[in-house]
Structure 1
């Protein structure tokens, strides 16, 4: 793809009209996936939008404006966030996210000091591929519950909403052209929402609750002046700020550390894969210039910013690469514009209410596809790197990771008589995979053709 004509290079500044259009297009392509994580975890979608925008701007600054990447909410943290929420609430999630961001920073320092060859030993495709598959497949029950259950009970009408949303999103990703081909997720959500409204309006079954939207709109139109109407349109999101809303040391415990921090290893592996693909699409070597250590540090900085505001951890996105590959618009100014728009949208109350009113089955239908794509991406990593699963070593490692991760195996460590520290299945699967890879002989077979780390990565 890198030999196709480039519309805008990384440092090109578009004309204002095209700039706004390109930025809106990019934000729309990221929108569905970015708000899905807070929707499923109980965090604020408005804060997620704001933190993703601020995180992206920080990423662009740290990478010297040389990598066109928009950062959004990380799918890998969905289950850990849900688990941490049960243990210590939103404050515990934020502390865990902060520590995960620190891990990014430490890894980037190590890469700067010692290069990246050691990463190959720790994260070969035979470990990374199955772990990514676990991320997607372990979320499958969440997607199905969202799609067809209401308060734990099956609902055919709600399931029909999920199916319509899924079909529109899936078919759109295949057949939509031009601008619409970039936003099949958003279109699927819109169609599913409208389908839900039909049931809500013409039957006694409430699939979508629009009372929040009505209240926000009434507040605007009932204003006594234009200035008051504009003021009413804006809303302060529900930020969760350390030392203001909670004391970090009061919620910090070993459970939070073990639930959240190990996932950073998984997301770093995803980040490296994304950077390699993005380098090929853009015809640049982003792993060398500005350097993998800078991009990982930028990723960590975005997660730190999110943790200080109450948003989910941020990471680079496959959707970002897809938009760049299709549009051939690589301008970081377009990415920055999308980030600023995301921040602006996060403060508009009626948009926040619209997001909050999206029915569970609509997001469930979208989740079925997105979570499946994550699992398939892990499988593709094994295929692209030609990892031989006929080799007993590789078969053992992949099998153990998949069954432990999807099966929900956990380790509970008694700390006191009243408290156990639990290592969740996703983190446990990744840890055991890493250990098996280091202990079992014939490590070369786990690298396959070595394609995953075939690019020189040392940065300046």
Structure 2
């Protein structure tokens, strides 16, 4: 294992702190602003709440875990469903608060009973296909954004999407340094420059924007009525089955990168609680649900700078950047085609990561049990199946797929034995 340049609690010089913190902020930037752009929320609030959630995470994990929390892609479809495709954004905030509370309840059970029960509930044969559903269910949205303007095909806009896509691919495949850790941001930048050249961007909003501007908060009781319904909860909360598994995976990978066992110290219960509290506070202000970011783990692995103070610095910069009115207005001018181009790659990577989970865990599809579970999850999730009990009470799509997958895994014979705690990391 290579010796770290800066270990977990090493404090960098002022110059290092600024430059390295900017590096981490830009690593998460593209993905964090993309989620609100896709679901009709405020990019400024997404940035602000990512910084706040990260600081919360660092404090709760006792400044032992150098993880950055950004916008979660797993909740894109549930947010669209909960908000009736953007018409009622307050619904998504209520759902996200419920997600944060669910995280807290899970962390409490882990604290008291350990986490082997969770591994039994969410084995790779369930989580892998559900992750594939998250990516593939959004594929039509990505292609539509890339090709169409006002429901009509546009060759010009599609070229912008393709330039964005291929730029992101180049940075992903051909670069091995820090640039490979932020292909989404760099792809957006290249696509944006191309879009400006071909004249499909209106800069009026940027010219009119103030240098300093308050983010568009979305507060309960002020901007929307706080009304909890079963449909909101059923659209959002079941996705916790996937995101908690994602969280565990990130903690394991991060632990290997920095040579720590984060499952034991500060403990999985602390990191899951911190993730949940970050999501709750984010929703309270109008931001999307949060998750630890693979992009930032990649930066840690490349630079070997593990200092939590650098992560803290990136969080502070994200908070400050959220008040930079001109920059936020510039983000709002990103053409839909550019977002579509980057989404083609991003949603595909999400789907492929589910496939990779199955491969890495050596899931045997010669066993009918595994074949049945994965097949049912994929068709229910991608097909958009819905279990409707009334006009306001339904379980559908990804949420239904996840629940059915968990049930099938529990009732079908041949379940594999979960590893002991000491074997997890």
For the pair 1:338 / 2:314, whether they are aligned, the reply is yes
Residue number among 264, 267, 270 corresponding to 1:288 in the alignment: 264
2:221 maps to 243
Distance change in 2, residues 1:324/1:61 (3 Å): same
- Does residue 424 of structure 2 align to residue 455 of structure 1? yes
Aligned length: 424
Distance change in 2, residues 1:451/1:72 (3 Å): farther
Q: Report deviation, 1:323.
A: 1.1
Note the C-alpha offset of 1:452: 11
Secondary structure of the structure 2 residue equivalent to 1:390: coil
Tell me the equivalent position of 1:268.
244
CA apart distance, 1:135: 0.8
Structure 2 partner of 1:98: 97
Q: Identify the range of structure 1 (180-189 vs 339-348) with the bigger mean alpha-carbon deviation.
A: 180-189
CA, structure 1 residues 255+198, in 2 after alignment: closer, same or farther (shift >3 Å)? Answer: same
- What corresponds to 1:310 in structure 2? 286
Whole-Å Cα distance in 1 between the matches of residues 255 and 247 of structure 2?
12
Contact 1:410 1:424 in 2 (8 A): yes
CA RMSD of aligned residues (A): 1.6
The partner residue of 1:369 within 335, 345, 364 is 345
Q: Report the equivalent of 1:210.
A: 203
Partner of 1:32: 30
What secondary structure is seen at the aligned counterpart in 2 of 1:261? helix
Structure 1 residue 270, shift from structure 2 partner = 0.7
How much has 1:177 moved relative to structure 2?
A: 4.8
* Counterpart check, 1:130 vs 2:129: yes
Report SS of the residue matched to 1:413: strand
Distance 2:160 2:420 in 1: 41
How big is the shift at 1:246? 2.7
Give 1:437's match in structure 2, choosing from 409, 420, 425: 409
Matches within 5 A, 1:40-189: 40-86=38-84, 89-189=88-188
Distance (whole Å) between structure 1 residues aligned to residue 29 and residue 224 of structure 2? 29
Distance 2:231 2:348 in 1: 29
Equivalent residue, structure 2, for 1:219: none
Return the offset for 1:321: 1.4
Please say if residues 385 and 451 of structure 1, whose CA atoms lie closer than 8 Å, have aligned partners that are also in contact: no
**8 A Cα contact 1:47 1:239, kept in partner:** yes
Per-residue CA deviation, residues 296-337 of structure 1 (Å, 9 max, x unaligned), is: 001001100111100100011211211111111111111111
Q: Is the 8 A contact 2:116 2:421 kept in 1?
A: no
Tell me the distance in 1 between the aligned counterparts of 2:289 and 2:238: 13
Residues 17-59 of structure 1, C-alpha deviations (whole Å, 9 max, x = no match): 0111111011111110001100000000000000000000000
Structure showing greater Rg: 1
Shift of 1:453: 9.0
SS where residue 83 of structure 2 aligns?
helix
SS in 2 for 1:454: helix
SS at match of 2:247: helix
Q: Deviations over 1:345-402 (max 9, x none)?
A: 1011101101101111111111111111111111111111111111110110011101
Given that 1:48 and 1:312 are in contact with CA atoms closer than 8 Å, whether structure 2 keeps it comes out as: yes
SS at match of 1:12: coil
1:284 & 1:103 partners in 2: Cα distance? 27
Per the alignment, in what secondary structure is the counterpart of residue 109 of structure 2? helix
Give the deviation of 1:183 after TM superposition. Answer: 2.7
Q: Could you report, residue by residue, the CA deviation over 1:78-136 in whole angstroms, capped at 9, with x for unpaired residues?
A: 00101111187111111110001000000000000000110121011110111111111
Contact 1:144–1:364 (CA under 8 A) maintained in structure 2: yes
Q: Do residues 322 (structure 1) and 298 (structure 2) align?
A: yes
Counterpart Cα distance in 1 of 2:249 and 2:236: 21
Contact between 1:176 and 1:184, CA under 8 Å: does it hold in 2? no
Name stretches of at least 5 consecutive residues in structure 1 with no aligned partner: 201-206, 217-231
Please give the alpha-carbon distance, in whole angstroms, between the structure 2 residues aligned to 1:176 and 1:121: 38
Alignment partner, residue 9 of structure 1: 7
